[in-house]
Amino acid sequence: MAQRRKDYRLDPSPVGLVGVPGSLVVNFLDPNGRPESSFDFTVYRTAPRIAAEIALAFRHHHAGHSPATREGAFNTLSRWFAFLNDHTSEITSMGDVDTAVLHAFIAWLNAKPWTKSSRHGSWSVLKQMIGWLKHNRPDLVACDLEIPFNAFPRKNAETRPREALSRSEMEAVLAAARKDIEASWATFQRGKALLSQVDREAIARERDLSRLNLDDLGVMLAVIVEHYGGLMPPQNVTLKRGSGRWRLHFASVRHGGNQKLSSYLHALPETLIPYMIAIGAQSYANPEALRDLRRDCMSDHLLLEGREVMTWSKGRSSRLQRRSFLRDKSLSVPNLVDRVLEMTAGLLPHVPADDRDRLFLVASINGSRATQLIPNYLASKHVRLFVQRHDLVDEKGDPLALTLAALRTTGLTLAHEALGHDILKTQVLANHVTPDTTQRYIDRPIVRRAQERIVGDLQARFVDIVRGTDAPERRDEISATDAAYATAAGFTCKDPLAGVGEGQKVGRLCTAWLGCFTCPNAVIPLDPDVLARLISTRDALVAARQELAPDRWRLLYAPKLEILENDILPRFSSELHLAASMKEAPALPVIE
């Protein structure tokens, strides 16, 4: 029987493995398999097929992203559908979208009164969807589609600098936060002490509150804890006809009101804000990430004894953020977190399941008595009230523009100064992927002035070293430097044959040798000694032209000789040339 040949032909129409466009509702699950977020693309029913194709890309592209990232992307996609509604009815699917349509969308965005960064964000979200379709479902897009590159160049050039506080303003904010923290903690501790001094079991069994001495603060607090779960009952409960609870209402008034009594039992929004400010100022966390801190955010450092690590998630980052702290101060981050945990522990039975693992929990003492993670609007409101309560002003005497977002910018700016204006070290501290992002946080006049001062000091030192007029302490610093190894521009090299540079070898002349004076930032003093060195360098380069391989000489040394002969040497006067000719030419390493 003849052996049957294997068929290697492929199915011309394979079944897609990533799903079929059709569903307009995109659901995401959390790591535990529970529904986390849902996005309904039926709002774009005027273009149902495009909505289904974009929904398919949205489902797969954002599968591993945070809920905040998904929410922002979904809202931003509305601009793409608004563009389609305004401009054409001929586009019924993403296959009808060609490069000209994408350029028209970019022009439509440029016509809007939005910042360039906002326009770029709208384009970027759509580009991600089209890129996913082009890579994974090319059958759904035009075969010749070219996605425009760099549609919004230098998108951050027009962005306003992030608001930051000065050092004195930040010190005033932290001093005010410390004052509030100590006061609220003392009140909470007093409430615990009062509760420990009364018979809480007997109070819990007593149904007739008229038999209790409600003028005793400890008894009053025990009634709230044992009969109402630790939350002040609303007025419609205490004054309900026939309930016999009216004595509780008037006792509350005599003790200072619901807010005062609640401060003995749990955290309030105004007591949480100082903690958020102090923690944010030390951790440099983004405002939303700060608000969303978990109750288990602190853990022991695995390697360093006495240090603890705070871990949190940032909405636009897929990696966890970490920073370690000591417990050496009462207001260090680990101690502050412990206090917040204790002050919010009594609220856990009343908090919805989704918020139960959050740190900054609050209970409303007005209206519905909602107990939840502190909302954004409430945090912003109480930051403003914090500024008013402590009469905080800026350097101009105006009310201080304090926000939770300004804490990160301010902290990184002050840390950048403490790190000697080293942007790479600040980048590590900020957990940024690139130094460009860090630069946008720290780019402000006070930092630029400090950087200009550092550059000016370095340039002055270069001139002093070459002229030999540097201060004694500076001469001690460079005592190991041989003046014979000074380059043409006055920079010095301890040993150009040491091979310490990147890609260099010991015993071989550094490939960057004699290249320093091609730097536009070079400082070349008009001095006879410097001129003698330059002339000797020119002669050495001319001699090397006859000995080196032509390609090597032309690549490494020809540009230097051209700059030296045509730009640098003509700048010296004839008197300096005469003085330099009377000096002995310095010895230079062999040019290889």
Comparison of pLDDT for 573 and 57, the residue scoring more: 57
Q: Give pLDDT, residue 385.
A: 94
pLDDT tens digits along 134-183: 999 999 999 889 999 888 887 766 666 667 888 889 999 999 999 999 99
Taking a C-beta distance cutoff of 8 angstroms, is the pair 510, 560 a contact?
no
Count of CB atoms situated within 10 Å of the CB of 69: 15
Does residue 483 carry a pLDDT above 50? no
pLDDT digits (tens, 9 = 90+) for 537-547: 888 888 888 88
> Stretch 570-584: mean pLDDT, rounded?
82
pLDDT at 213 over 80: yes
When pLDDT is averaged across residues 566-587 and rounded to a whole number, the result is: 80
Over range 474-479, report the average pLDDT.
44
% pLDDT > 90, the chain: 25
* Integer Cα distance of 462 and 582 in angstroms: 25
CA–CA gap between residue 273 and residue 378 (Å, rounded):
10
At 139, the amino acid letter reads D
Q: Which of 34-38, 296-300, 401-405, 588-592 has the lowest mean pLDDT?
A: 588-592
Q: What is the mean pLDDT of residues 356-376?
A: 84
Residue 11 has pLDDT above 60, yes or no: no
Least-confidence region, from 209-213, 242-246, 400-404: 242-246
* pLDDT tops 90 at residue 80: yes
pLDDT at 158: 66
* 545 CB burial (10 A radius; 0-12, 13-18, 19+): middle
Q: What is the pLDDT of residues 428-472, one digit of tens each?
A: 878 787 887 777 777 765 566 666 666 777 677 766 766 665 555
- The residues near 495 (Cβ < 8 Å, ≥ 6 apart) are 482, 485
Per-residue exposure over 479-488, b if at least 16 CB sit within 10 Å of its own CB, e if not: eeeeeebbbb
Instruction: Name every residue whose Cβ is closer than 8 Å to that of residue 52 and which is 6 or more positions away in sequence.
Output: 21, 22, 23, 24, 41
The sheet with strand 298-300 has its strands ordered as 298-300, 307-312, 321-326
The pLDDT assigned to 89 comes to 67
Alpha carbon distances (Å) from 38 to 21, 59, 355: 17, 10, 18
Alpha helices (H) in 63-98, listed in sequence order: 67-76, 78-87
- What does the pLDDT read at residue 132? 94
Say yes or no to pLDDT of 108 above 80. Answer: yes
Of the listed ranges 100-104, 136-140, 270-274, 584-588, the least confidently predicted one is: 584-588
Across the chain, mean pLDDT equals 81
What average pLDDT does the segment 75-82 reach?
93
- How far is residue 225 from each of residues 211, 219, 284, 369, measured CA to CA in Å? 17, 10, 37, 15
Round to whole Å and give the CA distance between 218 and 143. Answer: 77
Is the pLDDT assigned to residue 76 strictly greater than 90? yes
pLDDT at 404 > cutoff 50? yes
Kindly provide the b/e burial profile for residues 75-93, where b requires at least 16 CB atoms within 10 angstroms of the residue's own CB.
Answer: ebbebbbebbeeeeeebeb
pLDDT tier for residue 17 given thresholds of 50, 70 and 90: very low
> pLDDT digit string (tens) for 435-447?
877 777 777 655 6
| Cα–Cα distance, 160 to 157 (Å, whole number) | 8
Q: What is the mean pLDDT of residues 523-529?
A: 75
